[in-house]
Amino acid sequence: MNPLDLTRLQQELSDQGILMSFSGPFSHSIIEELGKAVKNHLENAQATRSVLMDVFAVYIEQAQNVRNYISRWEQHADQARLANSGIVVIAREGERYVVSSGNLLSWADAPTLMARLERLRDLDKAGLKALYKEQMRQPLTAEGGAGLGLTEMARKASEPLEHTLSTVDDQYLFFSLRVVI
């Protein structure tokens, strides 16, 4: 990539309000360091403490979701392809922040995830709170959580979570999640 390409890329990111973006393999240390950068940026932008904490929490949840999903495939032949599919982007749209993430998703995992997201979309703030309390009482799942992550993001969001699935091939879809705060 030559310097002109970087100039064009930087302008495109700026035009879209993108404050930070990471694409590639997610490790605990990368998530942690990017989290520090998110906090520093929001503090410098003089975001309110509430907004800072919500954006940071949603960023952490999305990055961990990408890492955790991909880590389930460590022994798979496509592990490197899956590991490199993760992306998290934080952007500013007017007075709101948008945290988006994406990664390859097995076709077999899509129906369960879509059902969870549709359930969240149908709930108002009171319904999300009740669901969160219900999930808090549930035992941990084999994936290591009680299914709280998506519910927690939906509770912090200023509008319903948005998601898309794009066909990649006969094995994978690309799942994207957008959370507006």
Q: Is 181 in contact with 99 (CB distance < 8 Å)? A: yes
Q: Domain limits at 66?
A: 3-180
Q: Output the six-digit token pair for 158.
A: 């200023």
Distance CA 11, CA 45 (A): 20
- 3-state SS string over 19-54? EEEEECCCCHHHHHHHHHHHHHHHHHCCCCHHHHHH
**Residue 146 pLDDT:** 46
Q: Residue 143 pLDDT > 60, yes or no?
A: no
CATH number at residue 19: 3.30.565.10
33-57 average pLDDT score: 93
pLDDT tens, position by position, 70-110: 888 878 888 889 889 999 999 999 999 999 999 999 999 99
Q: Residue 170 pLDDT > 80, yes or no?
A: yes
| Alpha-carbon dihedral sign for residues 36, 101, 170, 115 | positive
Tell me the pTM: 0.89
Q: Is 177 in contact with 86 (CB distance < 8 Å)? A: no
pLDDT tens, position by position, 145-164: 546 899 999 999 999 999 99
- For every residue of 82-108, DSSP letters joined together read HHTT-EEEEEEETTEEEEEEEEEEEGG
Q: Which of 2-6, 7-11, 74-78, 119-123 has the highest mean pLDDT?
A: 119-123
CA atoms within 13 A on the CB side of 61: 23
Q: Output the six-digit token pair for 110.
A: 């899509």
Distance CA 8, CA 4 (A): 6
Task: Count how many domains the chain has.
Answer: 1
CA atoms within 13 A on the CB side of 150: 21
Q: Residue 112 pLDDT > 60, yes or no?
A: yes
